[in-house]
Structure 1
Amino acid sequence: MDKRYSKVFKPGTFPDITYVSRKSGTMQYSYEERLQQSLSIDGFLTYIVGPSKIGKTVLCERVIGVDRIVEMSGNDFVRESDFWNRVAKKIGISTEAEISETNADFSSNEQRSTMVKKNYPANKEKILQYFKESNKVLVLDDFHYAPAEVQYDIACQLKEVIRLGFKAVIISLPYRSDDAIRLNPDLTGRLSVIEIEPWKEKELQAIARKGFHELGISLQEDILSRMAMESIHSPQVMQAICLNIGLLPGESSVIDGKIIEESCRFTCANLPYADVVRVLKAGPPTRGQKRLKYQLTDGSRRDIYSLILEMLADNPPLVEMELQELMARIQYNVPECRITTQKIREALRNWQKILEESGALYRVFEWKDDIIHILDNLFLFFIRWSGI
């Protein structure tokens, strides 16, 4: 174990040494410059959209600064829809004003008084004042986790206050058919959209180059390429793979393909997706009937749900997989393929229903328009290296 790695590679916090600035393919401006411009325009709501684990929050930390950010999540509004109450609790401001009233009762024999205390919601003006005086910016991450009706209400609430100088950034995933921000007509002309593209291989390699240069270690090009592929477009996964090379038990002076594979297995060892995989493999209740199993070329026998999961984990890792690609993988791995596209669609619809009824951790993909969209790159990384 080499503890120096922990100071260089930081998958869970701001990577000061290995931060890599990027530009979108169609623009000459960096994402940092675009976010800075957006925040400088009064009356505009900033909307950052991009795949999971791609560095959206880190971008905000880089441009805004950790000390200026008030960070919240769509999960904060799953059970409570009062937007300003939740924001007030986050910053430690009470939104309740306690008022006491005294009622006196008289009779021929005695006088009694009763103290009645009532709570009245305080005006949100003091919340806005706090943000303005403290130069704070609200960053609402994982916006897609909030219920659809709550998303719409939040959009309306923010539309009213951005005109007063309130600064807010909403972060969400793409491919949302119920996009409460971009589809909200009230925000037309008041919205600044920054779409974050998946990381390219060379950009991911730059993370490793910077970090290992800091450590005085030189890596071969094929090793950098392998690490970038296994990172699945995610800088967070790349940071984790690099970090765990140094945290592996024992010592190794050479970083080769075997070390990369061992680091990947070590990286996924503590990821919280085992129960998600169990639920997906189980599928819907069978009512006592055994599912048909299919013989794969590797000698294993899998039912339809275990088979699809295995195909998602196959090479190359794809965060978007069309039904045609999934069928091609099945046909390649199941020589005597008797599986129809209708059966695959039915299985994916069953999965979609199960995930929608489960908690936020379980929403790892979305099945839409015959395309599987992986919403959590770490989940795809997990099923590739956990031995499902």
Structure 2
Amino acid sequence: MDDQRLRVGQVFVAGGAPTITYNPRSELNLEEQILDYLDEGYRILSVSGSTKTGKTVLVRRIVPPSEGMWLSGGAINSAEQFWDSIAEHLGLYTSIERTSDSKDEVWRTTTGQANIGIAKGGIENKEIVGSTSGEKVSRARNVITQAREALRGGLTPLVIDDFHYIPQAVQLEIVRALKDLVFDGLRVIVIAVPHRAYDVVRVEREMTGRVQQVSVGFWSREELAGIARKGFEALNLEDKDEALIGRLSDESFASPHLMQDFCLQLCKANGYRQAQDERRQLVAPDWSSFFADRASMASKAAFDLLARGPRQRTDRKERQLKSGAVTDIYGAVLAAIAHTGPNTELTYEEIRAALKEVLSSDSPQRHEVTRILEEMTKIATNEIEGEPVVDYDVELGKLYISDPYFAFFLRWGVPDLA
């Protein structure tokens, strides 16, 4: 008989939509806010949250792909791509073809000989002679007009995930084109990282007052612990004093994605890959190697690209760190960021102060640091797949570590950096 017991991968789901360990964070009324928006409409709903904090899982819980039009911002580089995606989703025809035919027929009778058995005789054959003519007319339909007609007044929500991936000029075109459709009742949900949550308003000032915000926010220690408790209970595993749960929560950078992964790996480190018949006590692994192993798989490639800098750069001035390591300005800035904890949101002043603490030589000038931060953002956006691991907002003068996995790597993956 097949073993039907739950597998740990079914319980702790890192990177997908968990069921057993799903936490609605009821005290924040997140699901209720989305449901209220769907009831009321006449605005754009912006759901914001840091990478891997569960914002997409939350929206999919309320608006599954089978009940909404889901578009990925990472696949939209132009307004034409946006409307083409909607037309494809709705199965719209982009051309009309009309054909007309006419046929003149004349029957003609001919006589011939036929041999049937031993008898011989004549046989009449009838055939059609004449002419045919036809006309085919086709007309292309404007995709944007057709898609807008299909969306107007519709009750199927339009969800644009990773809205911040779309170039701002394209965002503006999209928002302006959707404005009157929203006024007519179309529900539009955009999902973005927190510092891009107001992109809808930033690109189109007329949307001020017409955008509703739902902030997923960072997860609390208790919320993260809830993931572990539910999962361990389902697997018949136990952490009596919750010391293991506490440690995992502390290292998760407020990310349920990381917490799911940690819990999954802790079960495997204890030799458990499925639910147990009897209650089993979990034991602590060697934490240093446990986290170092997780970090080595997380963001090394992204770190190496950022530390290398632009491909065409020639400035390789050596920078001495107090740790004894020798690097350049890119490595020094990464060392300074890591030195902060790393914090996932940093001002220039905080980075400057951290540089003074990690460098044994003079700190670089302000324009040098901001230039490096801007270059790192370009690399993170153009050369690294997925969510940009760092994002420097020039307008706000802040650096964001958008990916908790990258923050975790800075803490555990490069111990000699700072």
Band of TM-score, shorter chain: 0.7 to 0.9
Which residue pairs with 2:332 in the alignment? 307
Between the aligned residues of both structures, percent identity stands at 26
Compute the displacement of 1:129 (Å).
7.8
TM-score, scaled relative to structure 1: 0.81
2:387–2:403: 8 Å Cα contact kept in structure 1? no
Alpha-carbon separation, structure 1, partners of 2:382 and 2:81: 23
Distance 1:284 1:222, change over 3 A: same
Distance 1:309 1:131, change over 3 A: same
Q: Specify every segment of 5 or more residues in structure 1 that has no aligned partner in the other structure, as ranges.
A: 103-110
Which amino acid in 1 is paired with 2:40?
I
Which residue pairs with 2:196 in the alignment? 176
- Please state if 1:378 is matched with 2:381: no
- Please state if 1:154 is matched with 2:189: no
Give CA deviations for 1:142-193 in whole Å, capped at 9, x if unaligned.
Answer: 0011111211122123222223332221111222398234653443443221
Which amino acid in 2 is paired with 1:166?
L
Compute the displacement of 1:285 (Å).
5.1
Which residue pairs with 1:323 in the alignment? 348
Alpha-carbon separation, structure 1, partners of 2:289 and 2:390: 26
Distance 1:219 1:282, change over 3 A: farther
Which residue pairs with 2:80 in the alignment? 81
Which residue pairs with 2:249 in the alignment? 228
Alpha-carbon separation, structure 2, partners of 1:302 and 1:228: 33
- Please state if 1:351 is matched with 2:354: no
Compute the displacement of 1:100 (Å).
4.6
1:159–1:186: 8 Å Cα contact kept in structure 2? no
Alignment of 1:92-171 (within 5 A): 93-100=91-98, 115=136, 117-121=138-142, 123-124=146-147, 127-128=150-151, 132=155, 136-171=156-191
1:39–1:46: 8 Å Cα contact kept in structure 2? no
Give CA deviations for 1:76-127 in whole Å, capped at 9, x if unaligned.
Answer: 2115634332112234x0341232578xxxxxxxx99885644223623663
Alpha-carbon separation, structure 1, partners of 2:350 and 2:242: 29
Which residue pairs with 1:278 in the alignment? 304
2:95–2:141: 8 Å Cα contact kept in structure 1? yes
Which amino acid in 2 is paired with 1:243?
L
Alpha-carbon separation, structure 2, partners of 1:88 and 1:245: 46
Bigger Rg, which one: 2
| Paired positions, count | 370
Alpha-carbon separation, structure 2, partners of 1:282 and 1:344: 15
Compute the displacement of 1:296 (Å).
3.0
SS at the partner of 1:180?
helix
- Please state if 1:202 is matched with 2:189: no
Which residue pairs with 1:20 in the alignment? 23
Root mean square deviation, CA, Å: 3.5
1:198–1:234: 8 Å Cα contact kept in structure 2? yes
Compute the displacement of 1:213 (Å).
2.6
- Please state if 1:255 is matched with 2:283: yes
Compute the displacement of 1:365 (Å).
1.7
User: 1:246 is matched with which residue: 262, 267, 272?
Assistant: 267
Alpha-carbon separation, structure 1, partners of 2:250 and 2:408: 11
Which amino acid in 1 is paired with 2:284?
D
Which amino acid in 2 is paired with 1:70?
M
Which residue pairs with 1:339 in the alignment? 363
Give CA deviations for 1:282-317 in whole Å, capped at 9, x if unaligned.
Answer: 1135765542131332x3222221232233334633
Distance 1:323 1:224, change over 3 A: farther
Q: Specify every segment of 5 or more residues in structure 2 that has no aligned partner in the other structure, as ranges.
A: 101-131, 273-279
Alignment of 1:284-299 (within 5 A): 284=310, 290-297=316-323, 299=324
Compute the displacement of 1:141 (Å).
0.7
- Please state if 1:38 is matched with 2:37: yes
Which amino acid in 1 is paired with 2:407?
L
Distance 1:33 1:166, change over 3 A: same
Alpha-carbon separation, structure 1, partners of 2:293 and 2:150: 44
SS at the partner of 2:231?
helix
Distance 1:202 1:149, change over 3 A: same
Compute the displacement of 1:281 (Å).
0.9
Alpha-carbon separation, structure 2, partners of 1:148 and 1:202: 37
Give CA deviations for 1:178-221 in whole Å, capped at 9, x if unaligned.
Answer: 82346534434432211222112222122122222322311544
Which residue pairs with 2:117 in the alignment? none
Which amino acid in 1 is paired with 2:399?
I
SS at the partner of 1:233?
coil
Give CA deviations for 1:245-283 in whole Å, capped at 9, x if unaligned.
Answer: 234496797432625x44444444544x44432221111
